[in-house]
Amino acid sequence: MSLINQNEARAQLAIQENFMHVVSATTTLLLASLALLGCQQSQPQTQAPSARPGSCNAEAVQNFVGKTASPALLEQAREQSGAQTARVLRPQDVVTLEYNAQRLNLSTNGELVIQRINCG
């Protein structure tokens, strides 16, 4: 066997060994991840079924109509509605018009009194 063929054979053997180490490490990580996933406990449901996290339910917060909007009230309404995000909309505000089912909108008058609550 020539010197070139021997070097090629050694290089191929080294590549095969490295490949086997990568496959072995990947398999080990995958199995460890699956084992940890199986150990997770489900979290108890803390919100009402109608207010799932990320799913806006404007009906659940209609009691805020007529109140003055504030950062604390906005956060309270967001939590009670189950929405991911919330915003206060004043009469002259420029807003994006894309519909977002996970966003709560508190529409106010010029004095920040809430006139309408909806999702979108």
Domain layout of the chain by residue ranges:
1-41, 58-119
The predicted structure's pLDDT at residue 71: 97
Token pair listed for 26: 């990947």
CATH class of 58-119: alpha beta
What pLDDT sits at residue 86?
96
pLDDT in tens, 61-85: 999 999 999 999 999 999 999 999 9
pLDDT for residue 6? 72
The one-letter amino acid code at 90 reads: R
- Greatest alpha-carbon pair distance for the chain in Å reads 92
Give me the half-sphere count of Cα atoms (radius 13 Å) on the Cβ side of residue 23. Answer: 6
Tell me, what's the pLDDT at 97?
82
* 10-residue stretch averages of pLDDT, the chain, 120 residues long: 69 68 56 58 46 79 98 97 96 90 96 97
3-state SS string for the chain: CCHHHHHHHHHHHHHHHHHHHHHHHHHHHHHHHHHHHHHCCCCCCCCCCCCCCCCCCHHHHHHHCCCECCHHHHHHHHHHHCCCEEEEECCCCCCCCCCCCCEEEEEECCCCEEEEEEEC
Judge residue 112's burial from the number of C-beta atoms within 10 Å of its C-beta, 0-12 exposed, 13-18 middle, 19 or more buried.
middle
